[in-house]
Amino acid sequence: MAALAGTDLEITLGERCSSVVGVLRGGRGAADAPAVLLRGDMDALPVTEETGEPFAAPGGAMHACGHDLHTAGLVGAARLLSRHRDQLAGDVVFMFQPGEEGFDGAEAMIAEGVLNAAGPRVSAAYGLHVFSSTLPRGQFATRPGPMMAASAGLIVTVHGVGGHASRPHAAADPIVVAAEMITALQTLVTRQFDVFDPVVITVGTFHAGTRRNVIPSHATFEATVRAFTPDALDRARERSVRLCTQIAAAYGLTADAAFAGEYPVTVNDPDHAQFALDVAADLFGAERAHLLKDPMMGSEDFSRVLAEVPGAFIFLGACAGDDPLTAPTNHSALARFSESVLPDAALLLAELAVRGLRRLSG
């Protein structure tokens, strides 16, 4: 809130989450003027930071996905546009969104009316995401159609019989059975899914036992599942659950396997994706605006917004080192982001709003 002091934004706070919505009324807009939405997310991850930065987050909450840059970039765009609101041919909605990392903050904000915050429903929406690796610093990239994958969660608990580690035959060890499930899930991906309709299953947590000489009574693991089509995700649901329950049964154990849907595929409108690339090329030079060849397996709840209104999601390289191909990736405890990209992030978002409203108003 303090960062928006002195702007002309009409500010509303969320009720279901700690969201902030700002509306900037364009000085040239008529009563029925169009509106565009700019989004920045602002949450951290439960990661203990190991970058050594003097501003490293304490307490195991790290901005390991660069969302603090997203928020700062959106604040910069709000300040730029507020100083030039007389040039706006409509209104701009600023979506400061919490909870992208699993809470589905976009869904909560949509339910609370962010898409209609200016009065009429927004006609276009744009968001931006930075990367600590993959893209060279200062490079923008997007693509038409699927941009990021749908995501779901697979949660499995294997129920065994605990006992002494020296007498495994007298117990029913859930750890080795869960470990076999994890290996089998990787084979499932390579042998039952088309490589041209890809699926990724990655186990991120595994919890079992209290001491090395005790066989526990249960083991639990959780995996993230990614796909680009509803059909592939549905098949992943059916086959992963079946695989885990039947492996457990083969060893005389039981397993609870739950599959929980999370975010849909992030799909860019082709016209808006090209528009975003053209604006970036015009502002920063064609050598810094790239058509992304393939979508990424990461997922985003900005997909909720793009499912409601046309728009585009844009990537921005923010690698703090010299080689983005070897730099620590987003979500790594070593991920570092270059703040030097912030002025360009703010300028691109602001210019997308200016030119977007101009296009919408004719």
Tell me the catalytic residues. 263, 339
The phi, psi pair for 228, rounded to 5°, reads -105, -10
Per-residue burial over 19-28, b = 16 or more CB atoms within 10 Å of its CB, e = otherwise: bbbbbbbbee
Cα 298 from Cα 135, distance rounded (Å): 15
What is the signed CA dihedral for 60, 61, 62, 65, rounded to 10 degrees?
Answer: 130
Closest to 128 (Cα-Cα) out of 82, 49, 57, 65: 65
Residue recorded with tokens 């397996």:
297
Tell me the pairing of strands 254-261 and 311-317: unpaired
CB 20 within 8 Å of CB 1 = yes
Residue recorded with tokens 């779901």:
152
Cα→Cα distances 62→51, 65, 129, 213, 224, Å: 10, 8, 16, 35, 20
CB 291 within 8 Å of CB 143 = yes
CB 244 within 8 Å of CB 237 = no
Q: Which token pair is 66?
A: 């660069």
CB 105 within 8 Å of CB 303 = no
Residues in a beta bridge with 129: 315
Amino acid 152 reads A
